[in-house]
Chains A and B, each alone.
Chain A
Amino acid sequence: MAIVSDSIRRARPLLGTFVEIEIAGAPRSEMDGAIDTAFDAVAQVHRLMSFHEPDSDVGRLNSEAGTRPVSVHAWTFRVLETAVELHRRSGGCFDITIAPALQAIGLLPALKDKSAPALRSPDAIELLPDREVRFRSTDVMIDLGGLAKGFAVDRAVAVLRDLGIPCGMVNAGGDLRAFGAQTRTVHIRDPRHPSRSVCSIEVTDEALASTARRVDLVDGDESGSSAVIDPATQRPVSLIDGATVRARSCMVADALTKVVMISGTDAGELLESYKAGALLISADGNVQITSDWHHAVHLAA
């Protein structure tokens, strides 16, 4: 009879942040192996979807998919399907082809052979049979930074569940998902005063993703600039200081934070269609929470 130990908690640098996995409820030896396998899944998402690696799926798509169909891994294809669907359902608000705008403000590196302006089109990305992908022109460039981290968290949770781990939490720099019966409390930082907490949120068997205008940029950056770009203006958003989204999947929660940052309370219908809830912190200091969700959110008092 194996002895069930306490929870274990580990962290590794992946996806440009720290990925932390905490699990409980299984024998220690099983949990060590499960955590390793879960980290491997995150590392594979990193390898497939890094904008920075030329031989990742994203790197190959950006260099070749404008001229001919490129075959990608099933995971990359699934993320692209979600991205294309979100682009359509959000009226273009969620857009993975804004990479050039991120490059223009220095948040993504310029690639030597590409400096084209953003080409916005509803069918910029064609998803073909057999996991092949084609771009409408050589000017199209994608960055999956808006949802790949959430997808990686979903993969890690799937791995842990498949290995029989009953409960735990995976957190990739603010994109997190808890599974199992345990309720956890997550504190949301005040984007204007990062050392303070705006509220705490109870999370049970669901995903929570947060994004904010960047408050911790080093000196010399545009003050309060954001890594979230409004496709309509090609500029960083400034309407909302911070957004947190609750959803079933971390990929969807991750992506929807961008939509909420851009369209604010107008994102309500889209959130509802994904059975998601949101909390947004306006520039004027007001906090707004979708009516279906406020019972799980406790404002700092």
Chain B
Amino acid sequence: MNWVRYTLPAAAILSAASPAYAVRYLSIEEAQKEAFPSATHFSEVQASRVWKAEAGGKVVGFFVFDRVVGKHLFIDYAVALTPAGAVHKVEILEYRESYGGDIRSPSWLAQFVGKTAGSALKINGDIRNIAGATLSSTHVTEGVKRILAAYGNRLR
């Protein structure tokens, strides 16, 4: 196999655009329907955060909306719980990529750094244990654990 070599002009590298990356996958309502297709009614247990899904008067599960910091920006996600309080589904609703964002908004980033000074050490300790894992997925995983701790036994 032959290889073709290209030398990137320095100017081209410097001027390359950094497209901001944000994806909205599902709205809260769409995610609710997706998680519990049989549900006929969703009632708020906790305003804008926890919903109870019911089908014909019977509880089919709970839906918890949450938000964690990815690398720098928030990730909106939802955890669907079974009536017994186990995870039924974890779904990403909105993902905002940080690269580019942190360059354009240094003040936002600085604010984040200040707020989570305590958790930085934890990331330093934990994240290296997972080859190839991103900060974002680790944070969502921690968020799910937190939701389970907070709601796993309390709802039902």
Q: Contact residues of A with B, CB < 8 Å?
A: 9-13, 16-18, 20, 32, 51-52, 102, 106-109, 143, 145, 149, 173, 187, 189-190, 193-198, 216-221, 227, 265, 268-269, 271-272, 285-292, 294, 299-301
Q: A109-B129, A289-B6, A291-B3 are contacts. A16–B16 as well, Cβ < 8 Å?
A: no
Which among B34, B71, B92, B134 is the interface contact of A11 at CB below 8 angstroms?
Answer: B92
A299 near B130: Cβ-Cβ < 8 Å = no
Is B2 at the interface (CB under 8 A from chain A)? yes
Within 8 Å CB of A221, what residues of B? Answer: 128
B16 near A300: Cβ-Cβ < 8 Å = yes
Q: Give 27 pairs: A residue, B residue, CB < 8 Å, sorted on A.
A: A10-B25, A10-B26, A12-B89, A13-B137, A13-B141, A16-B137, A18-B95, A32-B37, A51-B131, A106-B128, A107-B128, A108-B129, A108-B131, A198-B13, A217-B128, A218-B124, A218-B127, A227-B132, A285-B7, A286-B5, A286-B7, A288-B5, A290-B2, A290-B3, A291-B1, A291-B4, A299-B8
Q: Contact residues of B with A, CB < 8 Å?
A: 1-8, 12-13, 16-19, 23, 25-26, 34, 37, 71, 77, 89-92, 95, 99-100, 103, 120, 123-124, 127-137, 140-141, 144
Within 8 Å CB of A269, what residues of B? Answer: 1
Within 8 Å CB of B120, what residues of A? Answer: 218
Give min CB distance, B38 to chain A, whole Å: 13
Give min CB distance, A126 to chain B, whole Å: 25
Task: Give Cα A189 to B100, complex, Å.
Answer: 12
Within 8 Å CB of A195, what residues of B? Answer: 18, 99-100, 103
Residue of A nearest to B140 (CB): A13
Which among A145, A149, A265, A285 is the interface contact of B3 at CB below 8 angstroms?
Answer: A265
Residue of B nearest to A174 (CB): B132
Within 8 Å CB of A197, what residues of B? Answer: 16-19
A190 near B13: Cβ-Cβ < 8 Å = yes
A194 near B99: Cβ-Cβ < 8 Å = yes
Which among A11, A218, A290 is the interface contact of B1 at CB below 8 angstroms?
Answer: A290
Q: By DSSP majority rule, is chain A's interface helix, strand, loop, or mixed?
A: mixed
Q: A10-B25, A289-B4 are contacts. A17–B133 as well, Cβ < 8 Å?
A: yes
Within 8 Å CB of B99, what residues of A? Answer: 189, 194-195
Within 8 Å CB of B123, what residues of A? Answer: 218
Within 8 Å CB of A286, what residues of B? Answer: 5-8
Within 8 Å CB of A193, what residues of B? Answer: 13
Task: Give Cα A271 to B2, complex, Å.
Answer: 11
B12 near A301: Cβ-Cβ < 8 Å = yes
Task: Give Cα A268 to B3, complex, Å.
Answer: 8
Within 8 Å CB of B4, what residues of A? Answer: 288-291, 294
